[in-house]
């Protein structure tokens, strides 16, 4: 295939796409799909209704919903305290920081900690089960 430049472009142009490797100019071609059999709709429905998938959903829900609820409650408690407990939030904590600033800054590590907990949970519990389900579906489609 001969590559052509878009209208108005020359090889000397400063267009950032021009400097990409030739197989990425202007974008890689998407001419073929993966060449393997796909599971049937009935197989997807059977997997969805199966015990392993239900376990996967329960593992996700039982972790995600309480974690999200706790982080949202923590955030709204901060907002409410900032609005209605101004005296308490303006209590000096240390240096030039007051309690409101400390609690506000604590929102960042709280969010990072919740994200880390989820990633750890997903890597240990969700991903292996999801990979097993996928392997079963793809294996049965090839059989």
pLDDT, one tens digit per residue, over 61-103 is 999 999 999 999 999 999 999 999 999 999 999 889 999 999 9
Q: What is the pLDDT of residue 75?
A: 95
What mean pLDDT is predicted for residues 111-119?
96
Q: Which residues form the domain of 70?
A: 41-142
CA 99 to chain centre: 32
Tell whether 4 is covered by a domain.
no
What is the DSSP code string of 81-140? HHHH-HHHHTSEEETTEEHHHHHHHHHHHHHHHHHHHHHHHIIIIIHHHHHHHHHHHHHH
pTM of the shown model? 0.66
CA atoms of 6 and 26, how far apart (whole Å): 8
> Which band of pLDDT confidence, cut at 50, 70 and 90, is reported for residue 44?
confident
Tell whether 1 is covered by a domain.
no
Tell whether 31 is covered by a domain.
no
Give the least confident one: 25-39, 109-123, 126-140: 25-39
Tell whether 8 is covered by a domain.
no
> Which band of pLDDT confidence, cut at 50, 70 and 90, is reported for residue 104?
very high
Tell whether 29 is covered by a domain.
no
Tell whether 32 is covered by a domain.
no
Tell whether 112 is covered by a domain.
yes
Tell whether 47 is covered by a domain.
yes
What's the total number of domains in the chain? 1
Asked, as a colleague might, if the bond just before 72 is cis with ω within 30 of 0, I would say: no
**Contact present, 70 and 113 (Cβ < 8 Å):** no
């Amino acid at each position: 295939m001969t590559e052509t430049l878009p209208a108005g472009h020359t090889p000397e142009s400063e267009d950032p796409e021009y400097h990409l490797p030739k197989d990425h100019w202007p974008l890689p071609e998407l001419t073929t799909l993966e060449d393997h059999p796909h599971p049937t709709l009935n197989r997807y429905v059977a997997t969805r209704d199966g015990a392993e998938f239900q376990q996967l959903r329960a593992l996700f829900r039982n972790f995600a919903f309480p974690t999200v609820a706790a982080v949202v409650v923590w955030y709204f408690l901060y907002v409410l305290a900032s609005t209605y407990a101004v005296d308490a939030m303006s209590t000096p904590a240390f240096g030039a920081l007051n309690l409101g600033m400390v609690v506000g800054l604590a929102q960042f590590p709280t969010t990072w900690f919740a994200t880390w907990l989820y990633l750890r949970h997903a890597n240990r519990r969700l991903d292996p089960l999801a990979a097993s389900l996928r392997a079963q579906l793809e294996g049965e489609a090839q059989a």
